[in-house]
Amino acid sequence: MNRGGCRPSHIAHIRAWREVQPNFYGDCVRAWMERNPEKARAHRLFREAVRAGAVVRKSECEACHCRHAPIHAHHDDYSKPLEVIYLCPTCHRRRHRHMRGVFYAFESAAA
């Protein structure tokens, strides 16, 4: 099946690689969870709250108000797992850059 415009040769390559490395992504996720238990806990609790209906995900970015992209739930404080900011991927990356103190010419520190 050709999804998202991928060439059949690329799809075949990915399938072959996954046969050789069947647990690659699961192993990566498991390793990340072991290195970041507080983050993993916050993500799990938020996901469970959404499934239970205690939290309703927003469909609009709180920074730029766009609705065209998938909206990410960003934690500023992992000790408060249900307090999130809803951001589009662009604003989410920008938020993390600002948190690390990395700015680009088109961005300002005040943004």
**111 inside domain:** no
**105 inside domain:** no
Looking at 21-111, list the stretches that DSSP marks H as alpha helix, in order from N- to C-terminal side.
Answer: 24-35, 37-52, 89-100
Mean pLDDT by 10 residues, the chain (111 residues): 67 87 83 94 96 94 90 93 94 86 54 47
Which residues have a Cβ under 8 Å from the Cβ of 60 and sit 6 or more positions away?
66, 67, 71, 86
pLDDT score, position 22: 78
pLDDT score, position 103: 56
* Structural domain for 45, as ranges: 8-100
Closest by Cα among 44, 64, 66 to 55: 44
pLDDT score, position 82: 95
Provide the terminal-to-terminal Cα distance of the chain, rounded to the nearest Å: 43
**94 inside domain:** yes
**55 inside domain:** yes
**90 inside domain:** yes
pLDDT score, position 111: 47
Number of domains in the chain: 1
**106 inside domain:** no
The answer, as to whether pTM is greater than 0.75, is: no
